[in-house]
């Protein structure tokens, strides 16, 4: 059985596409109400509509540019899978901390 390597650039590109689609779904909803399906979801974000809107703006506003830059960097200067995975996990932890701190 042939072992296939996972191309982290593909994974980063997929994450970027998913984020853009989720952001598009969020933007199409004129009420911007709390969603069960898309967006950054935590107990703090679901406590009020204002928290939900603030969290989504921060999440998409930081995540989409971050992954766009990461895809470009990995395209021109290929990162090892370990480094790319570390960056993605680090981003996930950092974005959660940043949003939760701002929600207070």
45-79 pLDDT, tens digit per residue, is: 888 888 888 888 899 999 999 999 998 988 888 88
6-46 pLDDT, tens digit per residue, is: 666 688 888 889 989 988 887 887 666 777 777 788 888 88
pLDDT of 86 reads 92
89 — pLDDT class (breaks 50, 70, 90): very high
Query: In the chain, what are the domain boundaries?
Result: 8-103
SS3 for the chain is CCCCCCCHHHHHHHHHHHHHHHHHHHHHCCCCCCCCCCCCCCCCCCCCHHHHHHHHHHHHHHHHHHHHHHHHHHHHCCCCHHHHHHHHHHHHHHHHHHHHHHHC
Query: Span 79-88, mean pLDDT?
Result: 88
Query: Span 81-98, mean pLDDT?
Result: 91
Task: Locate 50 and state its tokens.
Answer: 């204002």
């Amino acid at each position: 059985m042939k072992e296939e390597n996972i191309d982290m650039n593909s994974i980063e590109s997929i994450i970027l596409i998913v984020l853009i689609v989720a952001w598009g779904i969020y933007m199409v909803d004129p009420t911007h109400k709390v969603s069960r399906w898309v967006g950054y979801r935590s107990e703090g974000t679901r406590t009020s509509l204002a928290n939900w809107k603030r969290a989504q703006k921060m999440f998409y506003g930081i995540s989409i540019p971050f992954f766009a830059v990461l895809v470009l960097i990995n395209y021109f200067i290929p990162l090892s899978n370990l480094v790319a995975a570390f960056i993605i996990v680090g981003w996930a932890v950092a974005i959660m901390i940043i949003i939760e701190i701002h929600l207070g």
